[in-house]
Amino acid sequence: MARNATSETVRVVIGGGGTGGHTVPALAALEVLRRLAPVEILWIGSRTGVERRMVTRAGLPFRWIPTGKLRREPTLRTLVDLAAVPVGTLVAAGLVRAFRPHVVFGTGGYVSVPVVLAGWLNRVPIVIHEQTATVGLATRIAARFADAVAISFESTRAYLPRHPRVVHTGLPIREQLLHGDAERARARFGLDPSIPLLYVTGGVLGAHALNRLVAEALPELVQVVQVIHQCGPQRINGDLPRLLARRAALPAALRHRYSVVEFLDEDLADVLAAADLVLGRAGASTVAELAALGKPAVLVPLPGARGNEQLLNARQLAATGSAVVVEQHDLTPAGLVAIVRDLVVDRNELGRRGALARALAVPDAAERLARLILSVARAPLAEPAPPVLPAR
């Protein structure tokens, strides 16, 4: 069912999600794609993943399919989730057949696999994107059916030595993050420009371990820096009330130095512009944003992430000299305060360190990925590309 997209509207099925890290880069690439060509989009994702909220909020058509998380360990839950994959593939295949796309774009995550398989069954060209420094199980499976694999880090190419078309596009970030206004953030949060600002984030869903660490370190931390803390939704981790209580317990003279919110949306670009230092996890999007903005960071990779992906992501920034990487089991509240104090003592040096992160940035990542999607959509295929088995 392959079709050649020339001057007509390019119809794109996007499959993937589960986390913001699999969703935000695709939305960023889509913004550019819309500038390059007339496009029509159908996003296929999971019923409860964050992509459903983010995609519908962006005004895009969204359909959900039954999905199961791909795991390597042989448990009952694994078997149940595996059973959902063929069901999801059949549902996705029907959606793809009805939509008749020129290309399927897999953004990663377990929900992308049924969509990629559905595209292959319908003889639609396929592009997938691996956000992290390593290659996870979903990408290993999807790569067998993909015409092109986009990677965020050049080092990831080593994990796909047998695939005929691996393209280093970088990882798209939200364009609005590049246009933050530090002064606006200072006015919004009552910040003192003479005191270094630490921005704490655990990503879209927050990070309970980081929230707890900051809560315990807070009395000493606010003596060194101002803090804006994105703690994640209360319904997910329940941390906001405890953090507000810790703020209320601070001495009145220091209380204004700590602001905590569940999520930063319109204010995020401004806060990042004002931040002297970032404390966070090491998801691929976080690493790409820090690189693009030239921000120094203390990164605490999520323990147990598949393939130790966050540690590998963090090491990309550490290699530039812009980030300090501390594994969670090694970090204490006192240790955090000591690291932050040492880093902010010279704000000029801290800024110089942050600028080193730009060596990892790909400023035109969104355009590179969008053009790759278009090039595959416009390449007529008489037959589906044969599966390619990447090295294990």
CATH number, domain containing residue 264? 3.40.50.2000
Same-domain pairing of 202 and 73: no
Domain extent for 66: 10-171+363-377
In the block, residue with structure tokens 């605490």: 300
Q: Is residue 5 part of a domain?
A: no
pLDDT at 94: 97
Same-domain pairing of 148 and 186: no
Same-domain pairing of 206 and 59: no
Same-domain pairing of 154 and 64: yes
Q: Is residue 383 part of a domain?
A: no
pLDDT at 390: 41
pLDDT tens per residue, range 195-243: 999 999 988 778 999 999 999 999 999 999 999 999 999 888 889 999 9
Q: Is residue 349 part of a domain?
A: yes
Same-domain pairing of 186 and 321: yes
Instruction: Say what percent of the chain tops pLDDT 70.
Output: 90
| Cα–Cα distance for residue pair 290/354, rounded to 1 Å | 8
Same-domain pairing of 233 and 92: no
Same-domain pairing of 28 and 87: yes
Write the DSSP string, 306-362.
Answer: GGGHHHHHHHHHHHHTSEEE--GGG--HHHHHHHHHHHHTSHHHHHHHHHGGGGG--
Same-domain pairing of 141 and 202: no
Same-domain pairing of 291 and 347: yes
Give yes or no for residue 385 having a pLDDT over 50.
Answer: no
Higher pLDDT residue, 311 or 386?
311
pTM for the predicted model, two decimal places: 0.85
Same-domain pairing of 245 and 336: yes
Q: How many CB atoms lie within 10 A of CB 266?
A: 8
Same-domain pairing of 187 and 305: yes
Into how many domains does the chain fold?
2
pLDDT at 391: 40
Which spans in the chain are helix H?
A: 20-36, 50-57, 76-99, 112-121, 137-143, 182-189, 208-221, 234-237, 240-248, 252-255, 268-274, 284-293, 309-320, 333-344, 347-355, 365-377
pLDDT tens per residue, range 178-194: 999 999 999 999 999 99
